[in-house]
Structure 1
């Protein structure tokens, strides 16, 4: 039995400051139908505006993080049908999240699933995970950002190879190309994501937000403009209590206690 639309994304807060959003369509390997996309956008928007949430962990299941788009919704779709789905708005709710996002990837992350993982700031992969953009094998191309994000992650020539052939990457291959941040044994990857999230949740929130903004800006502007943004953000942080807390803790050789 498939899940109802109400529970296709499960949300819980396992430790202070950490919210886990879990894709929950296991019968179809967490394939992205419109209901799942909408719930995911809503969940990210809610996490972004919730002051109790400082880090988001995005997870799937043991067999699949997300195996891509639900093709049952695509097979007879017309261009106007696809336009009406407002995919830019739904993907945008994820990319607009100001808080650190960690993707914990087990199993397949293919097509839209790989694109979903690339919306995160850190990708922690199981050693059994696989990544790829196989849309070309269906007579299509990526529509969730892979031609842009994958190219920025691994460079033009590797991106072209993956996008034009639909080839899959193992987790170690993805790590070697720079597509993922870390690789861990399958049974440990989610625990590692949670421990990293808990550590980040204790960090200086505004500094983390400014770092994220600056890094993302670097992919959309010139070096000069990016450096200007970095300098201004750096300067603004000198108005924060976190700056004083962090420096005094370092000088006193004690752990900082950020707000």
Structure 2
């Protein structure tokens, strides 16, 4: 497969700049909320970029205004404890993390929930000074279900991960940089150029060595992390059967404070 044969979609764009495949989330009316179709398209396009020999680095962005506000809650409300483990959502995130080609995330504005988990699955995160990171799932009565209880610790440590998962609080770009969550901060207007410059630098290196380096760095993501991610999915699935999760989703959609009952 060549880069020229990679088909974009209405929700996820793709273009090439030299040896860099630029993949863009484009659902601005919903702040790039991750619908089922968007996740399917993103996973497919990343697989296609991965299979194109001339693509030596991938740049993943949501644009200068927002990366992603997280999962589409309307879509998430359709999952149950029985259906979530084999859901499109779950398998799409698996496919994103399985990309062998180095991936640079260019993050501006909101990077929340599932959007944050996508960014954390990338190799390098370049953040605009407007970037805001959060795992707000606890506010809806469930937990991150695509790596958010594991991937923060790999970058920012257990303390930052616990704070993110248990409070749902927002972390700005500068706090994220101090914590080690992001690797570089630039003005929002310079985000794409700075991230593309870095991606181009990576793409200029020996492609076999780049993939080998990525595989070696991700070796600790093997059995122990895989087992932890499986447990995360099982716990998330169980929570989707709870009254609290139903109440949290309903409250979000109705724009009111949730009334959790602990069942």
What TM-score results when the alignment is normalised by the length of structure 1?
A: 0.80
Instruction: Report 1:63-78 matches (<5 A).
Output: 63-78=65-80
Deviation at 1:78, TM superposition (A): 2.1
Partner of 1:80: 82
Counterpart Cα distance in 2 of 1:74 and 1:146: 16
3-state SS, counterpart of residue 104 of structure 2: strand
CA contact (8 A) 2:36 2:88 kept: no
Paired with 1:76 and 1:91, the residues of 2 have a C-alpha distance of 18
Counterpart selection for 1:27 from 26, 29, 32: 29
Aligned pair 1:17/2:19, yes or no? yes
Q: How many angstroms does 1:83 deviate by?
A: 3.4
SS of 1:195 mapped into structure 2? helix
**Match among 150, 153, 156 for residue 151 of structure 1:** 153
Q: Deviations over 1:65-92 (max 9, x none)?
A: 0000000112353223423424332112
**CA contact under 8 A between 2:84 and 2:90: conserved in structure 1?**
no
Query: 2:98 matched to which residue of 1?
Result: 96
Q: Return the alpha-carbon distance in structure 1 between the equivalents of residues 174 and 111 of structure 2.
A: 14
**Which 4+ stretches in 1 moved above 4 angstroms?**
none
Query: Which runs of structure 2 are paired with 1:190-201 in the superposition (5 Å)?
Result: 190-201=192-203
RMSD over aligned Cα, in angstroms? Answer: 1.6
SS at structure 2 position matched to 1:194 = helix
Within 5 Å, give how 1:113-152 maps onto structure 2: 113-152=115-154
- List per-residue Cα deviations over 1:212-246 (Å, max 9, x = no partner): 11111134479xxxxxxxxxxxxxxxxxxxxxxxx
Say which is worse superposed, 57-66 or 108-117, in terms of deviation. 57-66
8 Å contact 1:152–1:219 — kept in the other structure?
Answer: no
1:103-118 mapped onto 2 (5 Å cutoff): 103-118=105-120
1:75-113 deviation line (CA, Å, top 9, x unaligned):
353223423424332112211111110000011000001
Tell me the secondary structure at the aligned position of residue 214 of structure 2: helix
Classify the secondary structure of the residue corresponding to 1:80.
Answer: coil
**Native 8 Å contact 2:61 2:67 kept in 1:** yes
Q: Deviations over 1:166-193 (max 9, x none)?
A: 0110001000001001001111111011
Among candidates 43, 58, 61, match of residue 41 of structure 1: 43
| TM-score relative to the length of structure 2 | 0.79
Whole-angstrom CA distance in 2 between matches of 1:41 and 1:220 = 20
Matched, 1:6 2:2: no
Q: Aligned partners of 1:99 and 1:42: how far apart in 2?
A: 14
